[in-house]
Chain A
Amino acid sequence: MTPLLALALAAADPSGLQLFADANAAYLSGDVSRAVASWEALVSEGIAAPELETNLGAGYLRQGKRGLAALHFERALFLDGGDDDARADLTELRRGNVDRLEGEAEEGGAETAARLLRPLPGFAASIALAVLWGAAWVLLALRVFRRGPRWCSLAAAACFAGALLSALVTWGAAAGRRLALQRAVVVAQSVPAREGPGDKSVSRFEIHEGTTVRVEDEEPGFRRVQLANGLTGWVPAASVELVVPPGWAGRPVAAISPRAAR
């Protein structure tokens, strides 16, 4: 499957693969700025691949831009929840984060749930759900209307059980995806979290680049974010980037960050 995809990509856009190879070569030769620019060009062309996002994260980390590095590692994990490189790099990056959340372990339920639900095979499970569900009803109809053989009943029951299991997995994956759609990363070096969506509102605390937050609400120019330990505040919209950008997964564009606008 993977080689087929790679071949398809090569046939569709050989220049994209060439640009990716050029960017990698630039990175390995120490020209990190050029590598990052080339990888970003691929992203702006609409290519979304966990390898591309992981490399981009590594490039930004080498440049000291911890927020953008965390953002792209998170995106790599969104695209492939089992990406071990992205997970290890993100863990390494978080060790150096400025923000240390008190009580994260006790109240970080959303973070834990997202981490547990992320690897669920939602795509396959939803397809299986549709197939098994349909098959179960067809077998049931055969049994009821055509006086089909006895195994039709057994097969229908098995299909219903499989559909139920698939539905549970799909539900979990959908819940994880919903959490992922709310995830965002602080990309500004330091930003005050205020009580309201306004520059004159009282600042309650500060958050720093690389910290992962959950976007709960949006107002023009501001986003209401919640940290893993429950701390909540309003920050300028441009200071946090959604892990799943508008345009991926067909989510509506609620607020346009400068990078998204570019």
Chain B
Amino acid sequence: MSTRIGRALGLALCLSLPALAAGEVELSATTDAGEVALDGTLLLRISATYSSRGEDGELKLPTFADFEVTGEPSRAEQMSFTFSNGSPSFRRTVTTSIALTPRRTGDLTIEAVKLVARGKTLQTPPIHVRVVPAGQVRGGRSSPDPFDRPADVDPFADVHPGQRDLILRATVDNEHPFVGQQITYSLYLLARANVSSIEKLQLPRLDGFWSEDVEAPQQLVPEQRILDGVPYTAYLLRRRALFALRPGKASIEAAEVQVLTGFGMLFSRGTSRRSSQALRLDVQPLPPGKPPGFDSGNVGQWALTATAEPLAIAVGQPVTFRLVASGKGNVRDLHLPGLGALPGVRAYDPTTTDKESIERGQVNGTRTVEQLLVPERTGSVEIPALTMEIFDPYQKQYRTLHTSPIAVQVLAGQSGAVASVPVAQNLLGGGGLRPIRLRMASVQRATPPWSEPWFWPALALPPVGVALALGLAGVRRALRVDPGDRRVRLARSAAEKRLRGARALLQRGESVAFYAEIARAVTGYLADKQGVAAAGLTREELAAALAAKGHGEETVRRLVRILDDCDRARFAPGSSDAPVRETMLGRAEQVINELDRGRA
């Protein structure tokens, strides 16, 4: 058996020669927390991974302007040799850990770490750390290192093989993950017999998970294990990273493997079929208290940086805005914040690129969103700070990642230059919130006049006044007395009154007074109504005056006769008897009626 192991290692070394020749070096730097209290300590881990043998590079630590280095940096080294994706790979990782104490509160930066190795200079991006006042760090800080987590779990701790010589064992490193948190599914073959090769491997369906291959060895690499006092050889058949898509109970069905056992061609070669046990997981929902704007895909340990290039530019020229989220987790499900509309800047649709890598069993990723911005106004354009809410499953808390605002100076383009494409020098579009006003120029709280109680009476007053004046004038006109008119109007009634007096005299037998009253009634009527004074006229003049007023000849003659009869009776008493007087009264009434009907 040792001979076979030796052959395998030899073969692996031979196959790995091209990779070794490539001589790739990777450098990364992480902190154990994104936020630390002023009295707390931050652990900075710098990992240099070499894919080939050779001298270690020279690590150049930054000056740590915002931090104090506590104690001496510690150094750890780890080597791994695996067959992955059909080719063997050798990796040696040197991890340098440095404890840092912040000097002040605020958003601090750990400067870039440089590594000079194999003729190259590598550099990590700066790390932004939020430092809060002493004792105020949210949710405390735990430092579970996701790199160390899976390696520390013994997948065979609860395996009791009994008399079995071949066991297919499936394990996960965490049976209670959060939604979106990585768990690692591993499938091992434990054998007491000799295993020649794997003829068929049937992995379970992984419904409800997003999965990614971590290791898929093409060659069997043995690892010695003692289970219940019996030596077994363990072969890793497959290792996958799983990300649960929804909370609740989840199961991973059994895997199956068909194994060819025995030595070479002669010694009892046989085929064995084995199934693994099914696995049950309890996927936890994300804890309550999700911040506004949190996207359920943003689970993991992420860092967010924003850059713009160039920072000074002529108007109409493009600026590349780059938003980068990098860290541990499922980068394909990550949702980065959008930039939104910037006044005076034309923004093109962003492009997104993802890059994934497997580092010590952990799926890492980088999502880069690039957006082309074309300033259309001169002056300073500020690309605002962006925030992204994430859930860190290892610290079990929500965190807010911030980028810093970026100021871009936009200068006027060169005037006079002939451009093939017309470019706006300073495009001043409308819109946007206007500036506030600094002076209160007027104060208005007046109710409109038509709502005031005086308004409508004031409008009604003039016409009412004029109407009253008109009415008063009419009354005054009606009350004004004209004696002539009054005489005319009352002439008939006065005549009738005298005739009634004459009748009374007739009844009393006063003949002279009777005729005198008849004569007064007629002449009074003539004077009042007709305007003819009979006393001063001869009978002929009287008749002519009445005829001139349009009265009939017969009426005038009867009138003259009445007046003559009255004169005769007054001056020759006893010349008439009672019936004659009675007739005289009737004649007088008749003449007055005829005169009244005639023209006045």
The listed residue (B433, B444, B465) touching A79 by CB distance below 8 A is: B444
Count class of interface residues, chain A:
35 or more
Using CB atoms, name the residue of chain A closest to B442: A5
Q: How long is the Cα–Cα vector from A5 to B440 in the complex, in angstroms?
A: 10
Surface stretch bound by B, among A17-25, A97-105, A222-230? A17-25
Contact at A89–B450, with CB atoms within 8 Å? no
Decide yes or no: A123 and B449 within 8 Å by CB, A17-B440, A52-B440, A141-B465 being known contacts: yes
Q: Does B434 contact A (CB under 8 A)?
A: yes
Surface stretch bound by A, among B59-67, B356-364, B454-462? B454-462
Q: How long is the Cα–Cα vector from A141 to B464 in the complex, in angstroms?
A: 11
Contact at A129–B440, with CB atoms within 8 Å? no
Q: For residues 160 through 191 of chain A, which have their beta carbon under 8 Å from a beta carbon of chain B?
A: 170, 173-174, 177
Chain B residues, Cβ within 8 Å of A127: 449
Q: For residues 207 through 232 of chain A, which have their beta carbon under 8 Å from a beta carbon of chain B?
A: none
The listed residue (B439, B441, B451, B465) touching A137 by CB distance below 8 A is: B465
Q: How long is the Cα–Cα vector from A52 to B436 in the complex, in angstroms?
A: 9
Chain B residues, Cβ within 8 Å of A28: 436
Q: How long is the Cα–Cα vector from A170 to B469 in the complex, in angstroms?
A: 29
Contact at B458–A130, with CB atoms within 8 Å? yes
Q: Does A140 contact B (CB under 8 A)?
A: yes
Contact at A85–B434, with CB atoms within 8 Å? yes
Total A-B pairs in contact (CB under 8 Å)? Answer: 103
Contact at A130–B449, with CB atoms within 8 Å? yes
Contact at A47–B443, with CB atoms within 8 Å? yes
Q: How long is the Cα–Cα vector from A127 to B452 in the complex, in angstroms?
A: 11
Interface centre among A89, A137, A145 (most CB of B within 10 A): A137
Contact at A48–B433, with CB atoms within 8 Å? no
The listed residue (B443, B448, B461, B469) touching A134 by CB distance below 8 A is: B461
Q: How long is the Cα–Cα vector from A6 to B444 in the complex, in angstroms?
A: 11
Decide yes or no: A137 and B433 within 8 Å by CB, A50-B442, A173-B448 being known contacts: no
Chain B residues, Cβ within 8 Å of A6: 439-442
Q: How long is the Cα–Cα vector from A92 to B451 in the complex, in angstroms?
A: 34
Q: How long is the Cα–Cα vector from A249 to B452 in the complex, in angstroms?
A: 10
User: Per-residue CB proximity of A108-142 to B under 8 Å, as 1/0?
Assistant: 00000000000000110011011001101110110
Chain B residues, Cβ within 8 Å of A249: 447-448, 451
Q: Does A54 contact B (CB under 8 A)?
A: yes
Q: Does B479 contact A (CB under 8 A)?
A: no
Contact at B445–A46, with CB atoms within 8 Å? yes
Chain A residues, Cβ within 8 Å of B451: 249-250
Contact at A92–B431, with CB atoms within 8 Å? yes
Contact at B469–A145, with CB atoms within 8 Å? yes
Decide yes or no: A51 and B437 within 8 Å by CB, A130-B449, A137-B465 being known contacts: yes
Using CB atoms, name the residue of chain B closest to A141: B466
Q: Which label, helix, strand, loop or mixed, suits the secondary structure of the B interface? A: loop
Q: How long is the Cα–Cα vector from A170 to B456 in the complex, in angstroms?
A: 13
Chain B residues, Cβ within 8 Å of A136: 462
The listed residue (B437, B444, B473) touching A145 by CB distance below 8 A is: B473
The listed residue (B433, B444, B449, B469) touching A49 by CB distance below 8 A is: B444
Chain B residues, Cβ within 8 Å of A54: 436-437
Chain A residues, Cβ within 8 Å of B466: 137, 140-141, 144
Chain A residues, Cβ within 8 Å of B439: 6, 51
User: Per-residue CB proximity of A80-100 to B under 8 Å, as 1/0?
Assistant: 100001001100100000000
Q: How long is the Cα–Cα vector from A179 to B433 in the complex, in angstroms?
A: 27
Contact at A48–B443, with CB atoms within 8 Å? yes
In the assembled complex, the CB of B104 is this many whole angstroms from the nearest CB of chain A, namely: 22
In the assembled complex, the CB of A135 is this many whole angstroms from the nearest CB of chain B, namely: 8
Contact at B455–A130, with CB atoms within 8 Å? yes
Name 17 interchain pairs, CB-CB below 8 A, sorted by A: A2-B442, A6-B439, A17-B440, A20-B440, A49-B441, A49-B443, A49-B444, A51-B439, A54-B436, A58-B433, A88-B434, A123-B449, A130-B449, A137-B463, A137-B465, A141-B466, A174-B448
User: Contact residues of A with B, CB < 8 Å?
Assistant: 2, 5-6, 9, 17, 20-21, 24, 27-28, 46-52, 54-55, 58-59, 61-62, 79-80, 85, 88-89, 92, 122-123, 126-127, 129-130, 133-134, 136-138, 140-141, 144-145, 170, 173-174, 177, 248-250
What 3 A-B pairs come out closest when comparing CB atoms?
A137-B462, A126-B449, A51-B437
User: Contact residues of B with A, CB < 8 Å?
Assistant: 431-434, 436-451, 455, 458-459, 461-463, 465-466, 469-470, 473
